[in-house]
Structures are given as C-alpha cells and as structure tokens.
Amino acid sequence: MDPLALQVATRYLEAAAAPLELLDFARITKPGIKEEVFLVLREGTYYVLTYSYGGNLSFGIQSNTNSEGQAKSHFDRITHKLVKGVQEQSQWAGEVTESTPDAEALKHLKVFDHPLFGVDWNKSVELEDPEKDFLRYLQKHLESWKGSPGALSSTDHEYWPTFQAMVQKAIQRKYGDNIVLYRGIHGDQAKELLEKPGTPVKLHKYSSWTVSQNAAKSYRGVKDHWVIIKAMFDPRDVALAPVKLPEFIEPDILRKLAFDVAHVGDELIVGPMTSLSHYSIVLRSKKPL
C-alpha cells in the first residue's frame, strides 16, 4: 500500500473509539457486488475485517491474532477466496480493483466501531485451518453443484491441490490408469452430434459421468434426440469420485458419489474441461432427425 495513503488512512481513523492502524486493504469487484478486506491493528491485536455491499450489506471480523505474520497470511487467504469466488453457494469470481483505501473504504471502516451496530472487538475469532475450511465448502458443493456452470468453487480453494492429489491417488488405485466413462446427452447438442459426427462435445467446466452405460441413459431425456457417449480418461482428468481418502479429516466425504442418478454405478466428476473430442457414440435415439 502507498505510504502516503497509509498516513492519510491512519489520521482519518484516529477519531475512532480506539485508534485503528490500517495495514493493508483490498477491494474485490464482482457482478453486482463489492467486497472489501481490511487488515488493521487495534490495541496490540491484528484484525482481518470484511465489508460486503452492493447486494446484502454484511460486515464482520474474520480473524484476530497477536501475530502480524499470521494476520497477513489470513488477509491473503481471505482475499484469495473472495477473488476466486469460493463460497458455500455458487459465486462469481472477481478481481482486486483497488488496493489503496479511498474515502468510501474509510467510511466503511468506521462502521466497525459504531456504538450501536459495530463489532465486538473483544470476541475471539479464529480462522479455520485450510483443511477444515475446505471441507465446509466441499460438503455444500457436493449437494448443489450440478447444473451450474460456475459451481464447485471449492476447486479454487487454497487446499484443493492437496485434496486433489489424494483423490487422484485413490482413483488410480480403484479404477486403474484408464477409466472408461459414459455420459448421456439430449436436445440440440445430441442432434448436432448425430448430424455432424466427430463434433466436439461441449461441457461445463465440471461434468458428471458414470461407469455404467445403463445409468447414463438416465441423463438422455425421453422426448427428443439423445445419445450415450463413451470416453476414456486418465485419473488426472477426474476431479471427484467415490473413493475413500484415509489421509483426509473425513475419509468418506465422497461416498455419496457411489450412486449415480440411476443408482446403478459410480458417478465421477470430470474436469476442468469444457470440450471433448475423444469419444464414441454407443447408443442413440431412433427418432428421425
């Protein structure tokens, strides 16, 4: 942060109930919403604060600690999650559009010390460690990710690379080096695949597949054109699968993927991948094009 901006911010905050020293700041802009992250020092304690506006107004303390290094780490972690859109519900990613506090940011910071609806500075707030924090998001996403092109934001979490390594190791152990999967497609895309053989299949960033050809029929639809495609994947192509993870704090977190829509076979989530060329059509509708 610019030294002059820090000096101005500190003078502005001197009138607060207790002096606040602003050490770092970030404003993240997303469609229809802005979120601000503050790192402040107050009476010997470092606080990471967030202020969200543009949609529903919310603000609060995300962590407090006596360690400046730990506080800086918390500030970076929280900023990263907001930029990536890692939320319990599917959220848009954003970008840091301001790192120097302006008059608007300083006005928002004063709210935390408001005598009526300000925060309780004495309440201890600990930021969860990355593994537990990731688990909270993943549990929610496993229930609600389907049908949303921006879902599974937990894959942008700081802990994801560690978790993914566990998953892929377990996938290779269970399914081997070459995994044959099936996916049902219907509607306009199915018609296009039938009219133009070899056309790449369009996918959301993460897509659901199954080890069972019969189960894939559940995805095909019943009133229009449909196809069942088959493709071979490397374990590194698979994001999530119904495997046991003995190294994770909840080893059976992925157990719910053991049953696909038809409750016939395993469901595997492939991605990140937005198109696929290496596939074959194994079943198709008999309805004329």
pLDDT digits (tens, 9 = 90+) for 171-198: 999 999 999 999 999 889 999 999 998 9
Residue of 78, 113, 109 lying closest to 96 (CA atoms) = 78
Q: What is the pLDDT of residue 63?
A: 96
In the predicted model, what is the mean pLDDT of the chain?
87
| Residue 221, pLDDT above cutoff 80 | no
Question: Measured over all CA atoms, what is the biggest interatomic distance in the chain, rounded to whole angstroms?
Answer: 76
**Mean pLDDT of the region 227-250:** 96
Tell me how far CA of residue 244 lies from CA of 39, 134, 146, 254, in angstroms. Answer: 39, 17, 22, 7
For the chain, what are the domain ranges? 3-127, 132-284
What is the DSSP secondary structure assignment for residue 217, as one 8-state letter?
A: G
Q: Residue 192: which residues within 8 A CB-CB, separation 6 or more? A: 199
Q: What is the pLDDT of residue 252?
A: 95
**Mean pLDDT of the region 242-256:** 94
d(CA 191, CA 213): 20
Amino acid type, 144: S
**Mean pLDDT of the region 190-217:** 90
d(CA 49, CA 70): 14
d(CA 24, CA 5): 10
Q: What is the pLDDT of residues 20-56, one digit of tens each?
A: 999 999 999 988 889 999 999 999 999 999 999 987 8
**Mean pLDDT of the region 128-153:** 82
Q: What is the pLDDT of residue 182?
A: 95
| Lowest mean per-residue pLDDT among 113-127, 170-184, 262-276 | 262-276
Cβ contact 79:26 at 8 Å? yes
Tell me how far CA of residue 36 lies from CA of 24, 58, 117, 204, 253, in angstroms. Answer: 11, 11, 18, 30, 32
Residue of 237, 229, 221 lying closest to 188 (CA atoms) = 221
| Lowest mean per-residue pLDDT among 56-60, 144-148, 184-188 | 144-148
